[in-house]
Amino acid sequence: MTSKAKIIFHIDMNCFYASVEQALDVTLKNKPVAVAGNPKERRGILVTCSYEARAQGVYTTMSVWEAKRQCPELILLPPNFEKYREASKAMFDVLRTYTHLVEPVSIDEGYIDVTEIVDGAEAIELAQAIQQRLQSELDLPSSIGIAPNKFLAKTASDMKKPMGITILRKREVPKVLWPLPTINMHGVGESTAKKLQALGINTIGDIARKSEYELKLALGKSGVRLWQKSQGIDDRQVDPDSIYDTKSVGNSMTAPDDLVDIKEVHKMVEALCGKVASRLRSKHLVGTTLQLQMRTADWKNITRSVSFKNGIYHYDDLVRESYKLVSKHWHYEPLRLMGITVSHVYDRRQEAQQLSLFDYEEHVKDEPIIKLLDKIKAKFGENSIQKGVFTQRKSNFESTTSFSKDFLDDHRKEN
């Protein structure tokens, strides 16, 4: 007896932040709208923009001044993350009326496994029904990819926007995907694309025509995954419980101007550590690895990390260790982006530190102070009180935070 072929949907909300703003304010309908981290700052960066704005040459990550020059009538709005979280929750609530096999992957996209509720012929009708409900009930447009696995479903949802529904079958991979450049494959970034190009691999078809062994030798495990994707192979299941698997907490920022001065680099480090420390504390997490990411002006990525015996989560500890990584690994190349991530995280409330007698005495002495500081920071903010010279200064840097992952907390509370 053969098992039923999988039917996976990938639902991708179109221009989500801008669409939510248009849904909440009808006067914004059919107008070029953009959400910017700091719309009043010329060097602010667009977080997203409506299709009306895109039709006039505006795009995400464009600076505010460039966008206004390109489209003088562009309506710029500050982000309202609480509204976006509410809209995201409503979207996933709609999806869960069809099946419990719903896996959120970001604030505006997720997978659902509908294998047991429809057959192949009914899949497109179900996708149309879901798309129409999201539009009629929430006034939010979406695109849906239909495929036998997650990779192909994700690829399909990107093929028609806005309001597209696309079926991508495994047998269509050679015709549809192989002619495309490698950068078009989901999961391939600029760095990987350059590595592939150095190997004479320019298209997805070039990947497919290599052997799995060749790719593994050249790129390790990631090479194997790329080869499998090029063949349309993806065995990952739609897992509703994946929302509980927090593995890291991090933030990154793009500087409005390339950073060349150590003081400006330290300002960015402090801003990033403040955000990461706040999120770690709110989630009661600590981590044993601190990672620093630096992207130079010529798009070279530098990633360095340090590991600890005991978990790290305090702001001043994060800043101190990040400073050390910068000092050791930054050679004054102009920087356009920096990121701080704490990984291998676990619940701080269950932490059992292996302390020497001296460490134990020091921790006992500091514990009442630490608890008091945590209470103050929880009430007044991460930067309301800090030790030593690590004072958080106001920064104009635009943040590409992990807010799109924080929305998962809403699902954890409910399910």
List the one residue out of 268, 283, 371, 362 whose CA is nearest residue 319.
268
Residue 80 and residue 207 in one domain: no
User: Is 220 part of a structural domain of the chain?
Assistant: yes
Structure tokens at 228: 């499998």
Reduced to 3 states (helix: H, G, I; strand: E, B; else coil), residue 108 is coil
Residue with tokens 């052997």: 211
Residue 45 and residue 165 in one domain: yes
- For residue 294, the tally of other CB atoms under 10 A from its CB is 22
Q: Using alpha carbons only, give the angle 107, 130, 404 rounded to the nearest 5 degrees.
A: 0
Answer yes or no: is 12 a known binding residue.
yes
User: Is 237 part of a structural domain of the chain?
Assistant: no
- Given this model, what pLDDT does residue 219 score? 86
Amino acid at 378: A
User: Is 238 part of a structural domain of the chain?
Assistant: no
User: Is 79 part of a structural domain of the chain?
Assistant: yes
Residue 345 and residue 362 in one domain: yes
Distance CA 392, CA 380 (A): 14
Please state the φ and ψ torsions of residue 201, each to the nearest 5 degrees.
-110, 110
Q: Using alpha carbons only, give the angle 111, 117, 118 rounded to the nearest 5 degrees.
A: 90
Distance CA 208, CA 174 (A): 9
Distance CA 326, CA 294 (A): 9
- For residue 66, the tally of other CB atoms under 10 A from its CB is 16
| DSSP string over 239-273 | -GGGGG---EEEEEEEEEEEE-SHHHHHHHHHHHH
Reduced to 3 states (helix: H, G, I; strand: E, B; else coil), residue 342 is strand
Residue 128 and residue 272 in one domain: no
Amino acid at 198: A
Answer yes or no: is 406 a known binding residue.
no
Alpha-carbon distances of 13 from 111, 145, 167, 296, 388, rounded to whole Å: 12, 11, 17, 32, 45
Beta strands at 46-49 and 285-296: parallel, antiparallel or unpaired: unpaired
- The structural domain count of the chain equals 3
Distance CA 118, CA 249 (A): 37
User: Is 241 part of a structural domain of the chain?
Assistant: no
CATH assignment at residue 58:
3.30.70.270
- For residue 39, the tally of other CB atoms under 10 A from its CB is 19
Distance CA 30, CA 351 (A): 53
Alpha-carbon distances of 167 from 17, 101, 146, 154, 403, rounded to whole Å: 26, 20, 5, 11, 30
What is the pTM assigned to this prediction?
Answer: 0.68
Residue 274 and residue 403 in one domain: yes
Alpha-carbon distances of 59 from 53, 63, 67, 140, rounded to whole Å: 8, 9, 8, 20
Question: For 193-212, what is each residue's pLDDT tens digit?
Answer: 998 999 999 999 999 999 99
Residue with tokens 């001043």: 316
- Given this model, what pLDDT does residue 395 score? 38
Residue 127 and residue 199 in one domain: no
Residue 203 and residue 86 in one domain: no
Tell me the Ramachandran region of residue 265: left when phi exceeds 0, alpha when psi lies from -120 to 50, beta otherwise. Answer: alpha
Question: For 3-57, what is each residue's pLDDT tens digit?
Answer: 678 999 999 999 999 999 999 999 999 999 999 877 666 567 888 999 999 999 9
CATH assignment at residue 299:
3.30.1490.100
Among 230, 255, 270, the domain-final residue is 230
Structure tokens at 298: 């010529």
Structure tokens at 139: 């006034």
Distance CA 178, CA 192 (A): 17
Alpha-carbon distances of 268 from 31, 112, 152, 251, 260, rounded to whole Å: 35, 38, 38, 11, 12
- Given this model, what pLDDT does residue 379 score? 57
Residue 197 and residue 106 in one domain: no
Q: Are 47 and 17 in contact (CB under 8 A)?
A: yes
Which residues are within 8 A (CB) of 408 and not within 5 positions of it... i.e. 6 or more apart?
Answer: 104, 243, 246
Low-confidence ranges of the chain (pLDDT < 50): 1, 352-366, 387-401
Q: Using alpha carbons only, give the angle 225, 228, 231 rounded to the nearest 5 degrees.
A: 150
Instruction: Show which residues are catalytic.
Output: 109
Residue 111 and residue 216 in one domain: no
User: Is 239 part of a structural domain of the chain?
Assistant: no
Q: Are 65 and 42 in contact (CB under 8 A)?
A: yes
Within 260-315, strands assigned E span 285-296, 301-312
Q: Which domain holds residue 216?
A: 178-230
Structure tokens at 116: 């047991």
Residue 274 and residue 381 in one domain: yes
Residue 94 and residue 64 in one domain: yes
Residue 135 and residue 190 in one domain: no
CATH assignment at residue 191:
1.10.150.20
Distance CA 384, CA 393 (A): 11
- Given this model, what pLDDT does residue 47 score? 87
